[in-house]
Amino acid sequence: MKIAYDYQTFSVQKYGGISRYFYQLTKHISKTEHTAEIFSPLHINNYINNLPKELVNGRFVDAKYIDRIPKKSRIIGSINRSLSKRNIELFNPDIVHETFYSKHKTYKKSKCTVITVYDMIHELFDYYLPPHHKGWDEKKDAINRADHIICISEHTRKDLIELFDIEEEKTSVVHLAYDNSAIVDNKRLDNQRPFLLYVGWREWYKNFKPFLKSISRSKSIMNDFDIVAFGGGEFTTEELQLISELGFKNGQVRQVSGDDYLLATYYSQARAFIFPSLYEGFGLPPLEAMSYNCPVISSNASCMPEVIGDAAEYFDPSSLDEMLESVEKTVYSDSRINELVSLGKQQIKKYSWQKCASETLSVYQSII
């Protein structure tokens, strides 16, 4: 069987969850008797830049050069669409797996087309979005024309079926996996106060501001712990104002950026990882935290119980009191910390990229 992955995610992501997912699929499927190849004539992605050349039909272009091109998205997109269609036609695949949502089919011939749906956030929370973000016609078009749809959790499949009126038989669930290949450098965080860790984007459904508000209600937490927000960009003026208004000391809540190695070190040294999100399609950070022996305190919304199992202290993300109660009874209990670490070690055994690739291959084989 021959599988082609299109250019879409690799032409816009240097790094990122979606491009990492397809990088891992290509990497693992290529080790089987099947053939997988990425068709991205011009790409900026660092993951696939490290794959063997025979697995990537295209070339890496440093993003700093592409950024200099006027109307770069339109021009690069046009080049990639034209060249990849021709190259995929020459490859003659059995399966074309589109890496994101587009109005136009990657490959015109009647080969099986697969799309992966990562979440239904924009449909469920459209009232948070500015007008130009609403609609998502490309997503609907891609889903409706696909021969089969892979969802990354049962919860995402349920939302997809309900919101887009998709037949269940047209869908499958394949869980993602996590990466913990980074080596921890414990020396990098010497002389820091105990801290609670938050990772990733902070706006909108991620629920970061309510998390800060809940923590600020506890004198003991305020006295004993710092808050580290890893990634997600520097704090906005609004966030800095809120941090000050809530009574946090200068530097007590800080934003940190860095590579996977630094993130691994923060996971390994945090008292706990906090995941207050209102909705996730899958939710990789809790699994990453578990892989570095970091106890998880998580929202009980959407797919979190499905993915995390019993390896977290849960709370209702809409309740500041419940959120705070979960944090306090965990971080001040060594026995609960040790229990969550132990449960996390067992939970992450359920997920691997090899398993993800194997189950994805089974989906491909079932539709050709």
d(CA 221, CA 36): 50
**231 and 312: one domain?**
yes
The answer to whether residue 329 scores a pLDDT higher than 60 is yes
27, 60 contact by CB (below 8 A): no
Q: 92 and 115 share a domain?
A: yes
Distance of CA 257 to the CA centre of its chain: 17
Q: pLDDT, tens digit, for every residue of 131-165?
A: 555 447 889 999 999 999 999 999 999 999 999 99
Digit-coded pLDDT (tens) for 336-362: 999 999 999 999 999 999 999 999 999
Looking at the chain, the number of H-run helices and the number of E-run strands are 15, 13
Residue 71 predicted with pLDDT over 50: no
pLDDT at 246 over 50: yes
How is residue 358 annotated by DSSP? H
**Beta carbons of 190 and 221 less than 8 angstroms apart:** no
- Residue 13 shares a structural domain with residue 90: yes
How confident is residue 76, by pLDDT bands cut at 50, 70 and 90?
Answer: confident
Query: Does one domain contain both 9 and 153?
Result: yes
Mean of all residue pLDDT scores within the chain: 91
Is a pLDDT exceeding 60 seen at residue 319?
Answer: yes
b (16+ CB within 10 A) / e for 29-67: bbeeebbbbbbbbbbbbbbbbebeeebbbbebeebeebe
One domain for residues 263 and 317: yes
Assess whether 90 and 201 both reside in one domain: no
What residue numbers bound the domain in which 123 lies?
Answer: 2-177+352-367
CATH classification of the domain holding 272: 3.40.50.2000
Q: Are residues 332 and 356 in the same domain?
A: no
pLDDT level of residue 72 (50, 70, 90 thresholds): low
pTM of the model: 0.91
Q: How many domains does the chain have?
A: 2
Model confidence at 1: pLDDT above 70: yes
Average pLDDT over every residue of 174-186: 83
Residue 7: is its pLDDT beyond 90? yes
User: Using 50, 70 and 90 to split pLDDT, how confident is the model at 65?
Assistant: low
Asked if 206 and 271 sit in the same domain, the reply is yes
* DSSP output for 74-107: HHHHHHHHHHHHHHHHHH--SEEEESS--SS-S-
Q: Are residues 228 and 136 in the same domain?
A: no
Whole-angstrom distance, CA of residue 75 vs CA of residue 81: 10
What is the DSSP-derived secondary structure letter of residue 194?
P
Q: Residues 202, 342: one domain?
A: yes
pLDDT tens-place string over residues 84-129: 889 999 999 999 999 999 888 877 776 799 999 999 998 988 766 6
What percent of the chain is predicted at pLDDT more than 90? 76
Return the pLDDT at 343: 98
Beta strands 95-98 and 2-5 are: parallel
Q: Which two tokens stand for residue 22?
A: 């397809």
61 band by pLDDT with thresholds 50, 70 and 90:
confident
Q: How far apart are the C-alpha atoms of 353 and 360, rounded to whole Å?
A: 10
Q: Is residue 107 classed as helix, strand or coil in its secondary structure?
A: coil
Within 10 Å of residue 368's Cβ, how many Cβ atoms? 11
Q: What is the pLDDT of residues 204-237, one digit of tens each?
A: 899 999 999 999 999 999 999 999 999 999 999 9
Per the model's pLDDT, the better-predicted residue between 17 and 245 turns out to be 245
